[in-house]
Amino acid sequence: MSLSLNELSIDVLVKGVRACDRAFVARAITLVESRNPEHQQKSQQMLQQLLPFAGGAQRVGISGVPGVGKSTFIETLGCMLTGEGHKVAVLAVDPSSGRTGGSILGDKTRMERLAGDTNAFIRPSPSSGVLGGVARATRETIVIVEAAGFDTVLVETVGTGQSETMVADMVDFFLVLMLPGAGDELQGIKKGILELADMVAVNKADIFEAKLKQAMREYKSALHILTDASPVWHPPVVACAGLTGLGMVELWQQLEKHKSLTDASGERTERRENQRLSWLRAQIKDRLLDDFFSRKSVVKVLPDIELQVKNGEITVSAALNRLLGLPID
């Protein structure tokens, strides 16, 4: 496909995505990632047409600290699912990849088997140093891959910082990968990420077999201290091994059980509805900030006001009042 994004019509892109043509799916994602105002407007028109065909996939967020084996785990899980007839899309959220160039962008090379699977699609999110931009692209990419017919979307996050909250707010199920045998099992666990977890999977169980039971007991105890987010679901702790596939079938059965229970209770629908509202509010904040800092009146005086704040000549409150009191141009 030699046509540029400007030359491709919305109808052609929509038809290509609906036909699950990988080239068109990739170009559609590139369109939503673009910061070009014309591309952004075009992407919104395209997404509006794709929206009725989206929403049917199982959306799973997968997190874990670096070294926990996310790539191997995702490849093994993805291959198992495609072997069962599923179509799997793997998306990645990594706010640091723009600086390191390798954390997520190397996933296709680390998942060679899955990347070559005709029923799988792997796409790293772009990174411009701003997590909100990555999250926006990932949310809209979910719409594209679902409209293309992928019934399972795995969203990988780096495992540190705000990215966990962002990903948990765009998926149906949030899976946290942990390691056994890493010293004090609970020392590195942040309460925040456990509160988000719908399941904890202790990975590399084949390597750390001797310490597995103790680790699982401690993770279970940690989860029992927290209040369950759902009245129909208590986050289980399971053992697995991404390298060998140990426990993968049982792990996915838990996800299917969660889907069944939350579908029946209405929580799954409510969760998605609340996610859409949260996303609307986040977008309003982002748009207001962009509009504020792009005002000519703000651009003109901001450097001087920042310098005064930096030098301690005026208070932050006084600077804020001056900026907010500027005329809207």
141 with 184, same domain?
A: yes
Residue 63 within any structural domain of the chain: yes
40 with 79, same domain?
A: no
pLDDT for 245: 95
Q: Which of 263, 284, 318 is the last residue of a domain?
A: 263
118 with 257, same domain?
A: yes
CB of 24 closer than 8 Å to CB of 13: yes
CB of 74 closer than 8 Å to CB of 111: yes
CB of 248 closer than 8 Å to CB of 206: no
Residue 328 within any structural domain of the chain: no
Q: How does pLDDT run across 267-285, given as a tens digit for each residue? A: 999 999 999 999 899 889 9
Predicted confidence (pLDDT) at residue 86 exceeds the cutoff of 90:
yes
Scored b (16 or more CB within 10 A) or e, 242-272 reads: bbeebbbeebbebbeebeeebeeeebbeebe
Which stretches of the chain are assigned E, i.e. beta strand? 58-63, 88-93, 120-124, 152-157, 173-178, 199-202, 237-239
Work out the mean pLDDT of the chain and round it to a whole number.
Answer: 87
- CATH number of the domain at 18, please: 1.20.5.170
- CATH number of the domain at 78, please: 3.40.50.300
Residue 227 within any structural domain of the chain: yes
pLDDT for 60: 97
Predicted confidence (pLDDT) at residue 110 exceeds the cutoff of 90:
no
CB of 212 closer than 8 Å to CB of 240: no
pLDDT for 133: 55
Residue 124 to residue 104: CA distance in whole angstroms: 6
19 with 119, same domain?
A: no
Residue 209 to residue 314: CA distance in whole angstroms: 60
Q: How does pLDDT run across 120-176, given as a tens digit for each residue? A: 999 987 555 555 556 678 899 999 999 999 999 999 987 656 677 888 899 999 999
Residue 102 within any structural domain of the chain: yes
36 with 73, same domain?
A: no
In a 3-state reduction of DSSP, which class is residue 178?
Answer: strand
49 with 29, same domain?
A: yes
Which stretches of 161-303 are assigned E, i.e. beta strand? 173-178, 199-202, 237-239
Q: How does pLDDT run across 52-74, given as a tens digit for each residue? A: 999 999 999 999 877 889 999 99
46 with 93, same domain?
A: no
48 with 60, same domain?
A: no
What is the domain count for the chain?
2
Predicted confidence (pLDDT) at residue 99 exceeds the cutoff of 60:
no
- List phi, psi (to 5°) of 178: -130, 165
Q: How does pLDDT run across 245-268, given as a tens digit for each residue? A: 999 999 999 999 999 999 999 999
Compute the CA torsion angle 189, 139, 129, 300 (nearest 10 deg). Answer: -130
Q: What is the pLDDT confidence band of residue 328, given thresholds at 50, 70 and 90?
A: confident
CB of 26 closer than 8 Å to CB of 137: no
Q: How many residues does the chain have?
A: 329
- List phi, psi (to 5°) of 208: -105, 45
Q: How does pLDDT run across 31-51, given as a tens digit for each residue? A: 998 888 899 999 999 999 999
Residue 83 within any structural domain of the chain: yes
48 with 78, same domain?
A: no
Residue 290 to residue 283: CA distance in whole angstroms: 10
Q: What is the pLDDT confidence band of residue 29, given thresholds at 50, 70 and 90?
A: very high
127 with 107, same domain?
A: yes
- The structure tokens listed for 329 are 């141009």
pLDDT for 199: 96
C-alpha triplet 110, 112, 115: angle, nearest 5°: 110
Residue 193 to residue 215: CA distance in whole angstroms: 17
pLDDT for 185: 46
- The structure tokens listed for 150 are 């992928």
25 with 66, same domain?
A: no
pLDDT for 148: 98
How many other C-beta atoms lie within 10 A of the C-beta of residue 156? Answer: 26
Residue 290 to residue 37: CA distance in whole angstroms: 13
Boundaries of domain holding 5: 1-53
Percent of the chain with pLDDT over 70: 86
pLDDT for 193: 79
131 with 148, same domain?
A: yes
Predicted confidence (pLDDT) at residue 8 exceeds the cutoff of 80:
yes
Instruction: Classify strands 88-93 and 58-63 as parallel, antiparallel or unpaired.
Output: unpaired
Residue 214 to residue 183: CA distance in whole angstroms: 11
In a 3-state reduction of DSSP, which class is residue 47?
Answer: helix
Give, in order, the Cα–Cα distances in Å from 223 to each of 163, 194, 237.
21, 7, 9
